[in-house]
Homo-oligomer: A and B are copies of this chain.
Amino acid sequence: MVNAGAMSGSGNLMDFLDEPFPDVGTYEDFHTIDWLREKSRDTDRHRKITSKSKESIWEFIKSLLDAWSGWVVMLLIGLLAGTLAGVIDLAVDWMTDLKEGVCLSAFWYSHEQCCWTSNETTFEDRDKCPLWQKWSELLVNQSEGASAYILNYLMYILWALLFAFLAVSLVRVFAPYACGSGIPEIKTILSGFIIRGYLGKWTLLIKTVTLVLVVSYGLSLGKEGPLVHVACCCGNFFSSLFSKYSKNEGKRREVLSAAAAAGVSVAFGAPIGGVLFSLEEVSYYFPLKTLWRSFFAALVAAFTLRSINPFGNSRLVLFYVEYHTPWYMAELFPFILLGVFGGLWGTLFIRCNIAWCRRRKTTRLGKYPVLEVIVVTAITAIIAYPNPYTRQSTSELISELFNDCGALESSQLCDYINDPNMTRPVDDIPDRPAGVGVYTAMWQLALALIFKIVVTIFTFGMKIPSGLFIPSMAVGAIAGRMVGIGVEQLAYHHHDWIIFRNWCRPGADCVTPGLYAMVGAAACLGGVTRMTVSLVVIMFELTGGLEYIVPLMAAAVTSKWVADAFGKEGIYEAHIHLNGYPFLDVKDEFTHRTLATDVMRPRRGEPPLSVLTQDSMTVEDVETLIKETDYNGFPVVVSRDSERLIGFAQRRELILAIKNARQRQEGIVSNSIMYFTEEPPELPANSPHPLKLRRILNLSPFTVTDHTPMETVVDIFRKLGLRQCLVTRSGRLLGIITKKDVLRHMAQMANQDPESIMFN
C-alpha cells in the first residue's frame, strides 16, 4: 500500500482514491497496529519533507523543526513529568501529616514545614513545636492519655476513609483507566495495541490527583508504577501536539518508551535505571535513537525534580544511603537467603493476587469497587495505626530500614547499648549489643511484615491507582533488616564461631543491617517484577557506589531463579494475561516443533479462506463478505482457481473506500465490478462503471511457506511487528496467520486456555 501511489495514477479512469480519504491509516480501538506499515508511512512523510525542504527557505525551516521536534517533545515530557512528580511528593507530604494533625500558622504546611518556622531550633524539640497540633490537642486539648489516643486513631481512620472515597469516586466517574499501576497496559500499548483514552488527558489529571490521595492515606501501595503511567500520559499529550507523532502510532510509541524512562527516573531519582527499565521491562521496539532520547528525557525529568527539591535535601534519590563498612564474602550466604525469600514472596504474591483479581473479574465482587476500596481502607487503617512501622508512610519506613545507625540516630531501631567508654566517632561505630528498643522493633517489624504481605495482595488491582514497587520493597526491607539485625547480634555475641572468626573481630563494625534491608528490598522487587539489570542499576544509583553491586546482584539473580522455577510470568505479564491482551513477549522463547500449516486458518474441515479476486467481484459481493465475516482483512488473489496471491486489503479501508466511492464517485452501484489491477478489466458494454481500489491494496503482504517452523513465524511477528501473515505453498495461497492465532497457539502449547487471548 505504501507505494501504491508510485504505480497508480496513470490509468485512464479518474482515480479519486489517489487522494487520501479521512481516517485511512488509523486503527480501531482494541486492535493491533502494523509496525511495518507505520514505519513505511513515516518514511514517506520524511521523504516528502526532505524533498520539499529544497523548495523554499520556509520549507527548509519547517523540515528543521520537524527534525528537532523529537527533542522538543522529550524536553517537554521531562519538564512536566518532573514537575508533576515534585507536586505529588509535596502534596503527599502534606496530606499524610494531615491525618495526624494540622499546622496552626498555615493549614497547608506539612508537619516539617510547620516546625521550620518555629522557634524551637534544637534538634530534639523540633518535632514538638507548638504550631503543629495533633487532632486531639486541637479538638479536646489533650495530647497524652487514652482518650487522646483514641481520638487521634478515629481521626486517622476518618481521614483515610474520606480520602479513599474521594479517590475511588473520582476514578469511577471521570477516568476508569486511571486505576491500577498502569504498567501492564503500557507494556501492551507499547507492543502495538490501541487502547483509546488510556493515556488521555483525563486519565493524566485524575491519576495525578487520586495518586496523592491514595498514597497519603496509608494503603499498602506506592506511587512508582502510577508515575510511569502519568509520565506516559504526558508523553501522549505532547506527542499529540506534533503531527509527526500524533499521526503515526509507531512513532508515538517511541515517545512513550522515553516517557516511561522519565517516569522511573523521577520515581526513584535514577535516570540510567529508568532508561534500562524502559528497555528491559516496558518497551517493545526500542531503537538506539530512542535510547538516547529516553536518556535525555530521564535526565531532564530528574533535574526538574531536583530543582523542585521535594525532599528538602537536594538529593535526587528517594532513599539516599551511605554505608561506612564494606561487605564480606561470608555475608553472601544471608544475601542469597534473602534472594530465596524474595523469589518465594514473588511467587506467592503473583499467585494470590492473580487468583483474587480473577475472582473479582468473574464474581459479583467486581460490581462493588467503591465498597471494596472502603472496606480494605478501613481494615488497613484500623490495623495499621497501632503499629508505628505500619502507621508511618511506606517510603518513610523503607528509608528508616535502609539507614545505617549513626551516632546521631535516635530511632527505635538504633537503640543499641553503647559502651560508656566509647568516644563516639561519628562514622565508625563498632557492632554493639541490641537494646530494648531493637527487640521491641523486631516483633513490631514481624507483625508489620505479615500485615504488609497479606494486605498488599488484596490492595493491588483495586480500582484506584496503586503501585507495587514500594510495598514489595517494604516487605523485602523488613525481612532484610530483621535478618541483618540477627546476623549482627550473632556476630557480636559469637565472635569466636568459625563463620565469623575470619572477618569480624570484637570492636569492629562488621555488619550493616541497613544493607541487608536494601538487599532484601531488591530481592523482593525482583521476585515480583523479574527485573534484573534495571533493578541492580536503580539500586546502584541509590547507593552511588559499585561496592554493593555484588550483594544486590546475588540477591536479584537468586530471586529471579527461584521465582522463575515456579512460573515464568512476572506480575505485569500475569496481569496482561489475565486481561487477555494480545501481547507477544520478547522474553518468551517458543521451542515447539509446529509448523505454520498447523496454526494457519482455515483449519481442516473449516470453510475455505475468504478471499477477494483481483477483477471479478462486484461491490455487493464484497459488502456481503464484509457483513458476513469479521476478519480484519482479505487476501486478494488473481482468481479463485489459481489462488495466486497479489496483495492484501484491510477490512477497515475497504469499508471506507466503498463508502467514499458510493458517496462521491458517480456511477458506482452495487453491481459495479471492483478491481485491484492497474487497468480496468474488460467488461460488457452495458455494465456499470467499475471501481478501482488499487490504492488500498497492500502489494507487499508478508508471506511464509506452510513448512515454515512456528518458531520462525513467532520471531517474524515479534521482530517485524506484523498483524497478519499469509501462508503459501509453491506460490499458492493456503491460509492466514494473525497475531491472535500465534498467541493462541503459544498459549495452547504452554497448556493454557487459548481462549484467554481476547483481542486481535
Interface set of A (CB-CB < 8 Å, partner B): 2-3, 6-7, 36, 39-40, 43, 46-47, 50, 271-272, 275, 279-280, 287-289, 291-292, 295-296, 299, 302-303, 316, 532-533, 536-537, 540-541, 544-546, 549-550, 553, 586-587, 589, 591-593, 595-596, 638, 642, 644-647, 699-701, 703-705, 707-709, 711-712, 715-716, 719-720, 728, 730-733
Q: Give chain B nearest CB distance to A712 CB in angstroms.
A: 6
Collect the chain B residues with CB atoms within 8 Å of residue A3's CB.
593, 595, 707, 709
Is B644 a contact of A730 with CB atoms below 8 Å? yes
Is B730 a contact of A292 with CB atoms below 8 Å? no
Q: What CA separation (Å) do A700 and B709 show in the bound complex?
A: 8
Is B291 a contact of A533 with CB atoms below 8 Å? yes
Residue in A272, A287, A549, A731 whose Cβ sees the most chain B Cβ within 10 Å: A731
Q: What CA separation (Å) do A647 and B704 show in the bound complex?
A: 11
Number of copies: 2
Is A704 a contact of B709 with CB atoms below 8 Å? no
Additional 8 contacts, C-beta under 8 A, given A272-B537, A287-B586: A47-B592, A272-B540, A279-B291, A288-B587, A295-B553, A644-B731, A700-B708, A728-B731
A-B contact pairs, 24 of them (CB 8 A): A3-B707, A3-B709, A7-B707, A40-B711, A43-B591, A46-B591, A271-B546, A289-B587, A291-B533, A292-B532, A295-B532, A303-B550, A544-B544, A642-B731, A644-B730, A699-B705, A699-B707, A700-B705, A700-B708, A703-B705, A719-B719, A719-B720, A720-B720, A731-B732
Collect the chain B residues with CB atoms within 8 Å of residue A587's CB.
288-289
Is A292 a contact of B7 with CB atoms below 8 Å? no
Residue of B with least CB distance to A699: B707
Is A536 a contact of B709 with CB atoms below 8 Å? no
Contact (A288, B292) CB under 8 Å given A39-B711, A593-B3, A720-B719: no
Collect the chain B residues with CB atoms within 8 Å of residue A545's CB.
544
Q: Give chain B nearest CB distance to A706 CB in angstroms.
A: 9
Residue of B with least CB distance to A643: B731
Collect the chain B residues with CB atoms within 8 Å of residue A592's CB.
47
Residue of B with least CB distance to A7: B707
Contact (A711, B546) CB under 8 Å given A291-B280, A720-B719, A731-B731: no
Is A645 a contact of B730 with CB atoms below 8 Å? yes
Is B586 a contact of A288 with CB atoms below 8 Å? yes
Residue of B with least CB distance to A596: B700
Residue of B with least CB distance to A280: B288
Collect the chain B residues with CB atoms within 8 Å of residue A728's CB.
731
Q: What CA separation (Å) do A533 and B47 show in the bound complex?
A: 28
Q: Give chain B nearest CB distance to A323 CB in angstroms.
A: 15
Q: What CA separation (Å) do A589 and B638 show in the bound complex?
A: 35
Residue in A537, A593, A595, A733 whose Cβ sees the most chain B Cβ within 10 Å: A593
Is A715 a contact of B39 with CB atoms below 8 Å? yes
Residue of B with least CB distance to A720: B719
List 9 tightest A-B contacts by C-beta distance, closest first: A731-B731, A700-B708, A699-B707, A644-B731, A719-B719, A644-B730, A292-B532, A700-B705, A295-B533
Collect the chain B residues with CB atoms within 8 Å of residue A46's CB.
591
Q: What CA separation (Å) do A3 and B709 show in the bound complex?
A: 7
Collect the chain B residues with CB atoms within 8 Å of residue A708's CB.
699-700
Residue in A546, A553, A647 whose Cβ sees the most chain B Cβ within 10 Å: A546
Q: What CA separation (Å) do A299 and B533 show in the bound complex?
A: 12
Contact (A275, B638) CB under 8 Å given A288-B280, A646-B730, A709-B2: no
The one of B43, B291, B589, B704 in contact with A700, judged by C-beta atoms closer than 8 angstroms, is B704
Collect the chain B residues with CB atoms within 8 Å of residue A712's CB.
2, 36, 39-40, 700
Q: What CA separation (Å) do A296 and B557 show in the bound complex?
A: 10
Contact (A43, B711) CB under 8 Å given A296-B553, A719-B719: yes
Q: What CA separation (Å) do A731 and B705 show in the bound complex?
A: 11
Is A709 a contact of B288 with CB atoms below 8 Å? no
Residue of B with least CB distance to A2: B709
Contact (A533, B645) CB under 8 Å given A39-B711, A549-B299: no
Is A47 a contact of B593 with CB atoms below 8 Å? yes
Residue in A43, A47, A289, A720 whose Cβ sees the most chain B Cβ within 10 Å: A43
Is A715 a contact of B591 with CB atoms below 8 Å? no
Collect the chain B residues with CB atoms within 8 Å of residue A279's CB.
291
Is A533 a contact of B7 with CB atoms below 8 Å? no
